[in-house]
Amino acid sequence: MKQKAFQDYYPEEFSHCYGCGRQNNHGHQIKSFWDGEESVAFFTPEPYHIAIPGFVYGGLIASLADCHGTGTASAAMYRKEGRAMDTEPALRFVTGSLHVDYLAPTPLGVPLELRGRVAEIGTKKWWWISGFRLRATCAPRPGHCCKMPDTMMAKKNKRKPRR
Amino acid sequence: MKQKAFQDYYPEEFSHCYGCGRQNNHGHQIKSFWDGEESVAFFTPEPYHIAIPGFVYGGLIASLADCHGTGTASAAMYRKEGRAMDTEPALRFVTGSLHVDYLAPTPLGVPLELRGRVAEIGTKKWWWISGFRLRATCAPRPGHCCKMPDTMMAKKNKRKPRR
């Protein structure tokens, strides 16, 4: 059986994200998985995701890091709580701080490998992700995610549980 | 006569960027202008540029900051050198470090206002931009751009000057 990605477990209401929503046909639909203590995702940019011809657009790289980070935070929180990823209440995160250093131009035409590692779990809502490696063209930097705020969760919480 | 944007001056070879290239029909095609000492750009996200329905995707915000920053760096360097933006050699920049703090969910359906300000001009290639304001949902943070590296400029430099 094919392994399900973190994003495949997102409730329907939270699966429209441009970066990772399986229901967003315009978006990137990235898929993140555990690989031991690290999370990994692969993404091959489209021919038009360029800065100049032949090189990947840095904004795309930041976008991928954003969604791989929130996905990793979600999966790690489920794991910490000993819960399956399809159980309620849904654990969804948003990025609080995103920091990408671009070390060298990233060539187009090959899959990008994103790696995430949980660096620290805060006592309340904060959740830190160490960073990302993208074919050695981008340096890892700490960023953080936080639980989705009530203003975004409100619509979801008003609905009846799925089970 | 309508004011030309920074990006409208980019040479043909450098106007394919997904974020700001006027020749990239898939991309955002952002347009940046001077407003006194600040640079400004407005961008209205598409309905599918969402994190969850009703809120803008953070990766898009990072992408806009990326291109508004490089455009501002280019325009500021031309201004410092007292040159018109359509003169050779072209001054094009890439982002070296991008840092966005997300303070609150950004609502969809209204134009986003990006603001940039040059904080510091280095003695060699470094060029600092103070940050961006996006309807008070994102905090300004210093980022920096650097001149486009030779590996990316090579193709351009091998060509004969346009005039």
Select from A42, A35, A20, A34 the least CA-distant residue to A112.
Answer: A42
Selecting from A52, A64, A105 the residue whose C-beta is nearest the C-beta of B16 gives A52
Cα–Cα distance, B32 to B10 (Å, whole number): 12
Tens digits of per-residue pLDDT, A100-155?
A: 888 888 889 988 888 888 876 665 444 455 555 555 455 555 555 566 666 666 65
Select from B20, B161, B16, B146 the least CA-distant residue to B89.
Answer: B161
Mean pLDDT of chain B: 80
Inter-chain residue contact A17 with B62, CB threshold 8 Å: no
- For residue B152, the surrounding DSSP H or E stretch is helix B150-157
SS3 of A88-147? CCCCCEEEEEEEEEECCCCECCCCEEEEEEEEEECCCCEEEECCCCCCCCEECCCEEEEE
Tens digits of per-residue pLDDT, A18-62?
A: 999 999 999 999 999 999 988 999 999 999 999 989 999 999 998
pLDDT at B154: 63
- Within 13 Å, how many C-alpha atoms sit on residue A63's CB side? 31
Selecting from A51, A105, A155 the residue whose C-beta is nearest the C-beta of B17 gives A51
Contact yes or no for B101/B141 (Cβ under 8 A) = yes
Who wins on pLDDT, B137 or A64?
A: A64
Residue A14: how many other CB atoms lie within 10 Å: 23
User: Å from A63 to nearest chain B CA?
Assistant: 4
Inter-chain residue contact A149 with B104, CB threshold 8 Å: yes
Cα–Cα distance, A21 to A16 (Å, whole number): 4
Tens digits of per-residue pLDDT, B82-107?
A: 999 999 888 888 888 888 888 788 88
Query: What residues of chain B lie within 8 A of the CB of A11, using their CB?
Result: none
User: Å from A36 to nearest chain B CA?
Assistant: 26
Q: Chain A residue with minimal CA distance to B101?
A: A97
pLDDT of A85 higher than 50: yes
Inter-chain residue contact A57 with B102, CB threshold 8 Å: no
Contact yes or no for B112/B81 (Cβ under 8 A) = no
The tokens of A141 are what?
A: 């930097």
- Say which residues have a Cβ less than 8 Å from residue B62's Cβ, sequence separation at least 6: A59, A62, A63, A66, A98, A100, B98, B100
pLDDT of B19 higher than 60: yes
Inter-chain residue contact B18 with A57, CB threshold 8 Å: yes
Contact yes or no for B145/B119 (Cβ under 8 A) = no
pLDDT of B49 higher than 60: yes
pLDDT of A96 higher than 50: yes
Query: What residues of chain B lie within 8 A of the CB of A7, using their CB?
Result: none
Inter-chain residue contact A16 with B52, CB threshold 8 Å: yes
pLDDT at A89: 87
Selecting from A14, A62, A151 the residue whose C-beta is nearest the C-beta of B63 gives A62
Cα–Cα distance, B118 to B131 (Å, whole number): 9
- For residue A40, the surrounding DSSP H or E stretch is strand A38-43
ipTM rounded to 2 decimals: 0.84
Selecting from A51, A53, A66 the residue whose C-beta is nearest the C-beta of B94 gives A51
Cα–Cα distance, B63 to B112 (Å, whole number): 13
Contact yes or no for B66/B129 (Cβ under 8 A) = no
Pairs across A and B, CB distance < 8 A? 141
Q: What CA–CA distances, in Å, run from A128 to A91, A134, A155?
A: 15, 19, 26
Q: Choose from A46-50, B58-62, B72-76 the range with maximum mean pLDDT.
A: A46-50
Query: What residues of chain B lie within 8 A of the CB of A60, using their CB?
Result: 18, 63
Selecting from A18, A50, A104 the residue whose C-beta is nearest the C-beta of B50 gives A18
| Encoded amino acid at B154, one letter | A
Cα–Cα distance, A26 to A30 (Å, whole number): 12
Quote the percentage of chain B above a pLDDT of 90: 36
Inter-chain residue contact A58 with B94, CB threshold 8 Å: yes
